[in-house]
């Protein structure tokens, strides 16, 4: 088959393969590099192959810097969260009465999750079904019975966009609730992993049981 019978794509593939097989070609014909003109991807004007290569390297370098900065930001957030968790656990240990424990739970988790609302709700059978199955979702999709329970607690939910609610086991078949609410629509969603929330619920419940928490 002659070169004229090949499609443009096939011809370009052959050229590319040949250049890969002959890496010294441009060293022997460096003048060709300066003659090749390519389109600037940003400005549309013609640029040399070397300029295009520099542009590509700058683009790749920018992307790598962005990824590195993202990793650093993520690491810093993890460090901050770890510090807040340690402080939260310390406050739970030091709290020596039901009111102090409840306040430590609420204040600490508000900081950890960076949310506007965190409330321990008094024991209610409605929380039984949430044991080891916390709910995270947009507040507008919250189950009606849980919304009624929140209304009963006289909480102002007018600005809430997303929420998580967890069961806190106080005794056999007796559960309090832990409500965490945010004005951020994306803060809590149905696809969030439950493992972290279940660990938090377990720690909070243990602190409440330690002081024999009773509902007012």
Q: Where, residue-wise, is CATH 3.30.450.40 in the chain?
A: 95-210
- Give pLDDT, residue 163: 92
- Give pLDDT, residue 5: 66
pLDDT in tens, 175-192: 999 999 999 988 888 877
- Give pLDDT, residue 182: 92
Q: Poorest-confidence range of 48-57, 100-109, 112-121?
A: 48-57
Q: Are 166 and 192 in contact (CB under 8 A)?
A: no
- Give pLDDT, residue 214: 45
- The rounded distance, in Å, linking the Cα atoms of 95 and 171 is 20
pLDDT band at residue 16, thresholds of 50, 70 and 90? confident
- Crossing angle for the helix pair 195-210 and 49-94, nearest 10 degrees? 20
Mean pLDDT, the chain, whole residue set: 80
**In 115-191, where does DSSP find H-type helix?**
144-152
CATH class of 95-210: alpha beta
pLDDT band at residue 14, thresholds of 50, 70 and 90? confident
> Mean pLDDT throughout 19-36?
69
- Give pLDDT, residue 215: 43
Residue 57 has pLDDT above 80, yes or no: no
> Mean pLDDT throughout 15-41?
69
Q: Are 90 and 207 in contact (CB under 8 A)?
A: no
> Mean pLDDT throughout 67-89?
72
- The rounded distance, in Å, linking the Cα atoms of 139 and 185 is 8
């Amino acid at each position: 088959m002659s070169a004229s019978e090949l499609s443009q794509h096939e011809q370009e593939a052959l050229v590319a393969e040949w250049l890969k097989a002959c890496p010294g070609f441009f060293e022997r014909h460096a003048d060709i590099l300066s003659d090749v003109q390519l389109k600037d991807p940003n400005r549309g004007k013609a640029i040399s192959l070397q300029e295009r290569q520099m542009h590509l390297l700058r683009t790749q370098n920018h992307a790598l810097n962005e990824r590195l900065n993202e990793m650093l930001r993520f690491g810093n957030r993890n460090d901050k969260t770890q510090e807040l968790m340690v402080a939260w656990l310390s406050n739970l240990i030091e709290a020596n009465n039901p009111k102090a424990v409840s306040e430590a739970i609420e204040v600490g988790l508000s900081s950890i999750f960076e949310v506007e609302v965190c409330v321990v709700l008094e024991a209610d059978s409605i929380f039984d079904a949430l044991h080891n199955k916390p709910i995270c979702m947009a507040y507008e999709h919250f189950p009606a019975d849980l919304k009624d329970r929140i209304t009963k607690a006289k909480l102002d939910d007018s600005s809430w966009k997303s929420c998580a609610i967890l069961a806190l086991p106080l005794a056999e078949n007796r559960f309090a609730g832990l409500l965490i609410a945010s004005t951020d629509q994306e803060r809590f969603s149905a696809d969030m992993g439950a493992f972290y929330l279940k660990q938090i619920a377990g720690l909070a419940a243990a602190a409440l049981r330690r002081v024999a928490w009773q509902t007012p």
